[in-house]
Amino acid sequence: MSHTNHADAHPIQGFDHFAALSDEQAEARITEARARLGQRVVLLAHHYQRESVFRHADLTGDSLKLARLAANTDADFLLFCGVHFMAEVADILSRPEQTVVLPDLAAGCSMADMADLEKVERCWDDLTNVLGHPDESITPVTYINSAADLKAFCGEHGGIVCTSTNAPKIIDWAFARREKVLFFPDQHLGRWTGYKKGIPLYQMAIWDPDLENGGLSAREIEQARILLWKGHCSVHQMFQPEHIRSWRAQHPDGFVISHPECSLDVCRESDYVGSTEFILQTVVDAPPNTRWLVGTELNLVSRLAEQVQPQGKNVKFMAPTVCMCSTMQRIDPQHLAWALENLANGAVLNPIRVPAQDANLARLALTRMLEAS
């Protein structure tokens, strides 16, 4: 989905030299390169980024917020400290003359990788065999945490993109058009959204892309209102209902807040469920001296705990074991320094370019989302 073009006139500095830098040395190089680039570059950082990268950001937020903010900047280069699908969305929504750069192309998303175009197209063929014309009966809905070609698939088949914030409105939009929804790649966000809409669990069937007909009988497919792709976020899988119960036994007056990528059981046992932006705002706006158990990525939770500590608020990470988003962690000060210094020297590393046809169809699905929400 992406390719790298280097101008021959500008010798490229390899990463090996930067890999040996300490964080402090890398930070000095980041500061120096940014001073040379000035307003030609904007740094965007997702909430899950490590603090040593996050502190350099001009703009912070969740993936969609960042892409929309980026599209409104005048910078030539949008340097995205996030993962691959986020950089793709930024490329789709930004102007043609802007270039999106991802400091490390290996920064992917394991959940996004659980659904690929080949498997989704095979699913669509299987549904055609069972239901006839799926374009007449099923709306494909992809979570924004997915590859650009899957957003394009939704654009082509009358479908739409959703975020963890607007998923309920998007599901309403989808059902207003067709009787069923194919929701990918995260089964948990799809199940929680359907559950909140009053859809019984037996009408939400899991589609296993590695099995014929998703592992479902024709009757199960016909009965289902939402077909949930068998995908998940490895970080949010860590949280369990017993973590909540154990904490509540010690802190009966405390509050539990979770991300909808958590399991249905965790969401049901939480006081609040919402996106990263919702979690941050809810805890920040809470009364002083309140206590919170938070079910989302560790870097965000640690940063939030520090932010609200002066108000006497106590914020605790839900899982007893440390778990960060490992692919987000691939963006480190060394990769950031490498990308910025080469950029300052005129060499563009790791530009993210979504092919025009995919970009146009994906933009259609994203536009439907923005209009619906």
Q: What is the pLDDT of residue 113?
A: 81
Taking every pair of Cα atoms in the chain, the longest distance, rounded to a whole number of angstroms, is 65
> DSSP for 252-292?
TT-EEEE-TTS-HHHHHT-SEE--HHHHHHHHHHSPTT-EE
Question: Which residue from 134, 137, 130 is spatially nearest to 219, judged by alpha carbons?
Answer: 130
Query: pLDDT at position 3, please?
Result: 43
In the numeric block, which tokens belong to residue 117? 């175009």
CB contact at 8 A, 117 and 155: no
**pLDDT at residue number 1:** 44
Amino acid identity at 345 = N
Nearest CA to 15 out of 280, 347, 360 is that of 347
* Domains of the chain listed by start with CATH number: 15-107+327-354 (3.40.50.10800), 112-233 (3.40.50.10800), 236-317 (3.40.50.10800)
Q: Quote the tokens at residue 122.
A: 């095979």
The SS3 assignment for 366 reads helix
Q: Which residues, 6 or more positions from 161, have their beta carbon under 8 angstroms from its beta carbon?
A: 141, 142, 143, 144, 146, 151, 154, 170, 362, 365, 366, 368, 369
Question: What distance in Å separates the CA atoms of residue 193 and residue 372, rounded to the nearest whole number?
Answer: 16
pLDDT tens-place values along the chain, 373 residues long? 444 444 444 678 899 999 999 999 999 999 999 999 999 999 999 888 889 999 999 999 887 788 788 778 889 999 999 888 989 999 999 999 999 999 998 887 777 788 999 999 999 999 999 998 878 899 999 999 999 999 999 999 999 999 999 999 999 999 999 999 999 999 999 999 999 999 999 999 999 999 999 999 999 999 999 999 999 988 888 999 999 999 999 999 999 999 999 999 999 999 999 999 999 999 999 999 999 999 998 989 999 999 999 999 999 999 987 666 656 667 999 999 999 999 999 999 999 999 999 999 999 999 999 999 8
> DSSP assignment of 58-113, as one string?
SEEESHHHHHHHHHT---SEEEEES-HHHHHHHHHHS-TT-EEE-S-TT---HHHH
How far apart CA 236 and CA 325 sit, in angstroms, is 9
pLDDT at 263: 97
Q: HSE on the CB side for 54, CA within 13 Å?
A: 16
Can you tell me the distance from the alpha carbon of 33 to that of 275, in angstroms, rounded to the nearest whole number?
34
| pLDDT (0 to 100) of residue 337 | 97
The bridge status of strand 77-81 relative to strand 291-295 is unpaired
Integer Cα distance of 272 and 91 in angstroms: 33
